[in-house]
């Protein structure tokens, strides 16, 4: 015989469900329908990926009020390490995974490039690859040696653990110990601020971050590489030689809220955010 559940039984069932939803970690995998996602995600790593991840997270939260996403920077090395040991739900890296990082999974949400930047007041319009190498190794230390003003060059370099540094060194076939840096910076914003604050400085940053800054009035300019302009169009068509994927990382196949967010970050629903930040959407 079927018995109708009592009010106390229903309340107990509801209480048990709420306990199940609360979980005991950073991520909640329960999904009570498209508008009923609940839980938190911690995302850490690349300062290049972080602004895009934060914008995507804000939109995702607006569509799912029960979700909270915390995005923190610290460099691609942090993203790899945090994802690997599980201290973050998702890592961020502005490069492809290395062979030594084979235990991780990567999900590309956009593409970007790395370009050399100068202050807009600097008359130099282009540097050869060899001139870049000679500047960064101290063989060229005055702008007059490359056709510019008679002024000492301030070399701005990225800090260890930044994928932008790793890719820059790899492309120009340099060792970190060879670089004669005057200023060490962390994220792209610091690099851009340093270059527009010192008209004799040279640095290298994300193409997307640099183009966005230049378009919004920051006094910097992006130098071409091998004659190819540094902009979103050349990154998109693959002609810009120093380009890279922007990845989200996990230490296992994502499930629950983690999977829903990663799928969302890879989808056409956020392509406008990708292009707004001067990155290239992945189709």
Q: What is the pLDDT of residue 35?
A: 57
- In tens, the pLDDT along 238-269 reads 999 999 999 999 999 999 999 999 999 999 99
Q: What is the pLDDT of residue 19?
A: 32
What own/partner pairs with CB < 8 Å and gap ≥ 24 does 124-128 have?
A: 124/148, 124/223, 125/223, 126/223, 126/224, 126/227, 127/223
- In tens, the pLDDT along 129-158 reads 999 999 999 999 999 999 999 999 999 999
Q: Where do the CATH 3.40.190.10 domains begin and end in the chain? A: 32-111+245-281, 113-243
231-248: burial string, b at 16+ Cβ within 10 Å, e else:
bbebbbeeebebbbbbbb
Task: Tell me if the domain spanning 32-111+245-281 has CATH number 1.10.101.10.
Answer: no
* pLDDT in single tens digits along all 283 residues of the chain: 333 343 333 333 433 333 333 333 344 444 444 557 899 999 999 999 999 999 999 999 999 999 999 999 999 999 999 999 999 999 999 999 999 998 999 999 999 999 999 999 999 999 999 999 999 999 999 999 999 999 999 999 999 888 899 999 999 999 999 999 999 998 889 999 999 999 999 999 999 999 999 999 999 999 999 999 999 999 999 999 999 999 999 999 999 999 999 999 999 999 999 999 999 999 7
Using left for φ > 0, alpha for ψ between -120 and 50, and beta otherwise, residue 147 falls in left
The fold of the 113-243 domain, in CATH, is: D-Maltodextrin-Binding Protein; domain 2 (3.40.190)
Q: What is the pLDDT of residue 152?
A: 98
């Amino acid at each position: 015989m079927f018995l109708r559940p009592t009010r106390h039984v229903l309340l107990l069932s509801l209480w048990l469900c709420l306990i199940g939803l609360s979980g005991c970690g950073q991520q909640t995998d329960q999904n009570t329908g498209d508008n009923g996602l609940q839980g938190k995600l911690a995302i850490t790593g690349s300062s290049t990926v972080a602004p895009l991840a934060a914008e995507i997270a804000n939109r995702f939260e607006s569509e799912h009020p029960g979700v909270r996403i915390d995005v923190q920077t610290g460099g691609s090395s942090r993203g790899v390490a945090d994802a690997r040991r599980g201290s973050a739900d998702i890592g961020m890296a502005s490069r492809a995974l290395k062979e030594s990082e084979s235990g991780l999974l990567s999900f590309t949400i956009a593409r970007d490039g790395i370009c050399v930047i100068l202050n807009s007041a600097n008359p130099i319009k282009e540097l050869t690859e060899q001139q870049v190498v000679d500047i960064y190794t101290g063989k060229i230390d005055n702008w007059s040696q490359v056709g510019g003003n008679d002024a000492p060059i301030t070399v701005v370099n990225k800090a260890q653990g930044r994928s932008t540094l790793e890719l820059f060194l790899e492309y120009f076939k340099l060792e970190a110990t060879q670089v004669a840096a005057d200023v060490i910076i962390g994220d792209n914003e610091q690099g851009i601020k340093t270059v527009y604050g010192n008209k004799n400085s040279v640095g290298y940053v994300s193409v997307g971050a640099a183009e966005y800054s230049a378009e919004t009035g920051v006094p910097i300019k992006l130098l071409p590489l091998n004659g190819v302009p540094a902009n979103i169009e050349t990154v998109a068509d693959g002609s810009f030689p120093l380009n890279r994927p922007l990845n989200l990382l996990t230490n296992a196949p994502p499930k629950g809220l983690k999977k829903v967010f990663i799928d969302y970050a890879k989808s056409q629903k956020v392509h406008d955010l990708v292009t707004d930040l001067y990155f290239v959407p992945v189709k």
